[in-house]
């Protein structure tokens, strides 16, 4: 099967990213040379999506250690990178993983070891996502479409742009397309940051039939029998299966349940946070009101709302485990209604070795 593109490119030991704030209108690469640039790229969403944020955090730490490698600098860089975005646990997970690999080493060995660990995180992420796609494809093939073709709905962007390759929710869609399955994807625009437009851009490039909808149209399409399954990614999954994902995911889950439509969450195990007992412990990022007050498009920005009205802009919501039909990780498909704690599924060893 053909591999998907990646939002990262390397020449020698230099990191280049695709600037997602310029998509879908222009494809512009940025070189990331320092930890501060990596932190800026995460905070401003030049890179976004839980697994990708984790990978860039790991490279950011490696770049910090090229600047200086003493403990005090390591601690400073860890804090700076960790504070960029709070909800996607993949960032803390990746930073911790690199820290564990380098802290016992002498300072002059740390930068190279950190870079190797960041590269390993990327390789494992791609492999995990690919396997998630295969498992999702099995779920899709078990469904009898209500019309001639399989109609899936997704939210936000959980494609290759949001990971180091393949994506999570979109991985199975790419495999289904390559297998010649007749499918169509409803893509919700995902206000206020419009990550759905990134999904549309990805699907268009891959020749996957899709239709963009306003977020508010999702429930009506489900009622009309035009959706066979909903599939989304995740930013943090609590031990009881409660799932934080892009704001608006919860409403889709509610509508899916009311209409008897399967609601699947696809995510690598690095998104599971067993230290959160349930969704109430997941920190929800609150972003600037400007994202709601302004529309951004090809021609720049346009103001929609004056300062006379207050704005609230939570970037994520939590879907209770009871509304999730299945959690698809590289370790297998977990039926959430049967789960008391995901702890029972936690790999005793590196999950990649289980594949
Ligand atoms: O704010 P973003 O664009 O980083 O949010 C991304 C999402 O919510 C994705 O659905 C999630 O990270 C899964 S990405 C494979």
pLDDT tens digits, residue range 159-197?
A: 999 999 999 999 999 999 999 999 999 999 999 999 999
> What is the side-by-side order of every strand in the sheet holding 263-266?
210-213, 183-188, 150-155, 229-232, 263-266, 326-329, 332-335
Q: Which residues line ligand 1 (CB under 6 A)?
A: 48-51, 88, 156, 158, 162-163, 167-168, 195, 233-235, 245-246, 315
Q: What is the dihedral of CA 153, 156, 158, 160, to 10 degrees?
A: 110
Position 299 scores a pLDDT of: 84
Closest of 3, 1, 22, 17 to residue 201, by C-alpha: 22
Q: What's the pLDDT band for 44 if we cut at 50, 70, 90?
A: very high
Residues 6+ apart with CB under 8 A from 282: 87, 236, 238, 242, 244, 273, 276, 316, 318
From the alpha carbon of 88, which atom of ligand 1 is closest?
A: 12
Q: At what angle do helices 171-178 and 107-141 cross, to 10 degrees?
A: 60
Token output for 103: 């802290």
* CA–CA gap between residue 76 and residue 146 (Å, rounded): 54
Q: Probe ligand 1: pick from 21, 55, 234, max atoms within 8 Å of CB?
A: 234
* CA–CA gap between residue 337 and residue 179 (Å, rounded): 30
What 3-state class would DSSP assign to 136? Answer: helix
- Mean pLDDT along residues 20-37: 97
Closest of 179, 87, 89 to residue 133, by C-alpha: 179
Token output for 150: 């399989």
**290-322 pLDDT tens trace:** 999 999 888 888 999 999 999 999 999 999 999
Position 348 scores a pLDDT of: 57
* Percent of the chain residues past pLDDT 70, beyond the cut: 97
Position 62 scores a pLDDT of: 98
**241-295 pLDDT tens trace:** 999 999 999 999 999 999 999 999 999 999 999 999 999 999 999 999 999 999 9
Q: What's the pLDDT band for 337 if we cut at 50, 70, 90?
A: confident
Does 235 qualify as catalytic in the annotation? yes
The pTM of this model reads 0.96
Q: Probe ligand 1: pick from 7, 45, 50, max atoms within 8 Å of CB?
A: 50
From the alpha carbon of 129, which atom of ligand 1 is closest?
A: 15
- Mean pLDDT along residues 59-79: 98
Q: Spot the catalytic one: 215, 235, 242, 317.
A: 235
| Beta carbons of 55 and 8 less than 8 angstroms apart | yes
From the alpha carbon of 167, which atom of ligand 1 is closest?
A: 15
DSSP class per residue in 163-191: SSSS-STTHHHHHHHHTT--EEEEEE--T
The residue written with tokens 């009622």 in the block is: 223
Give 227 Cα–ligand 1 centroid separation in angstroms.
Answer: 22
Using the predicted structure, report yes or no on whether residue 351 has a pLDDT greater than 50: no
Write the residue with the smallest CA distance to atom 6 of ligand 1.
Answer: 49
Give 296 Cα–ligand 1 centroid separation in angstroms.
Answer: 19
Look at phi and psi of residue 260 and say left if phi exceeds 0, alpha if psi is from -120 to 50, else beta: left
* CA–CA gap between residue 129 and residue 127 (Å, rounded): 5
- Mean pLDDT along residues 212-235: 98
Position 159 scores a pLDDT of: 98
Rg of the chain over CA atoms, in angstroms? 20
Residues 6+ apart with CB under 8 A from 54: 88, 90, 91, 93, 94, 121, 125, 270
* Percent of the chain residues past pLDDT 90, beyond the cut: 92
Q: Which domains does the chain have, with CATH numbers?
A: 8-126 (1.20.120.420), 132-354 (3.40.50.10470)
**85-131 pLDDT tens trace:** 999 999 999 999 999 999 999 999 999 999 999 999 999 999 999 99
């Amino acid at each position: 099967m053909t591999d998907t593109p990646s939002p990262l490119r390397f020449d020698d030991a230099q990191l280049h990213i695709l600037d997602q704030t310029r998509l879908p209108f222009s494809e512009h690469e940025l070189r990331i040379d320092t930890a501060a640039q990596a932190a800026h790229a995460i905070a401003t969403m030049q890179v976004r999506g839980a697994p990708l944020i984790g990978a860039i955090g790991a490279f950011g730490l490696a770049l910090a250690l090229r600047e200086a490698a003493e403990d005090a600098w390591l601690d400073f860089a860890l804090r700076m990178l960790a504070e960029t975005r709070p909800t996607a646990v993949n960032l803390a997970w990746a930073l911790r993983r690199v820290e564990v690999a380098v802290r016992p080493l002498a300072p002059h060995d740390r930068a190279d070891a950190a870079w190797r660990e960041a590269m390993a995180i990327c390789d494992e992420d791609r492999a995990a996502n690919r396997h998630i796609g295969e498992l999702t494809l099995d779920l899709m093939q078990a469904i009898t479409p209500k019309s001639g073709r399989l109609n899936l709905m997704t939210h936000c962007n959980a494609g290759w742009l949001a990971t180091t390759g393949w994506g999570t929710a979109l991985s199975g869609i790419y495999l289904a397309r390559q297998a010649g399955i007749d499918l169509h994807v409803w893509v919700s625009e995902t206000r206020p940051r419009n990550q759905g437009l990134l999904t549309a851009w990805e699907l268009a490039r891959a020749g996957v039939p899709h239709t963009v909808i306003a977020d508010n149209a999702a429930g009506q399409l489900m009622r009309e029998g035009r959706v066979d399954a909903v599939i989304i990614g995740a930013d943090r999954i609590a031990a009881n299966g409660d799932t934080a994902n892009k704001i608006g995911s919860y409403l889709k889950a509610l509508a899916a349940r009311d209409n008897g439509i399967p609601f699947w969450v696809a995510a690598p195990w690095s998104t599971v946070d067993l230290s959160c007992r349930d969704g109430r412990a997941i920190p929800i990022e609150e972003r600037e009101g400007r994202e709601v007050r302004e529309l951004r498009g090809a021609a720049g920005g346009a103001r929609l709302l004056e300062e006379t009205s207050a704005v609230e802009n939570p970037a994520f919501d939590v879907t209770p485990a009871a509304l999730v039909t299945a959690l698809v990780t590289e370790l297998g498909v977990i039926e959430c209604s049967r789960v008391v704690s995901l702890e029972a599924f936690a790999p005793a060893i590196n999950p990649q070795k289980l594949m």
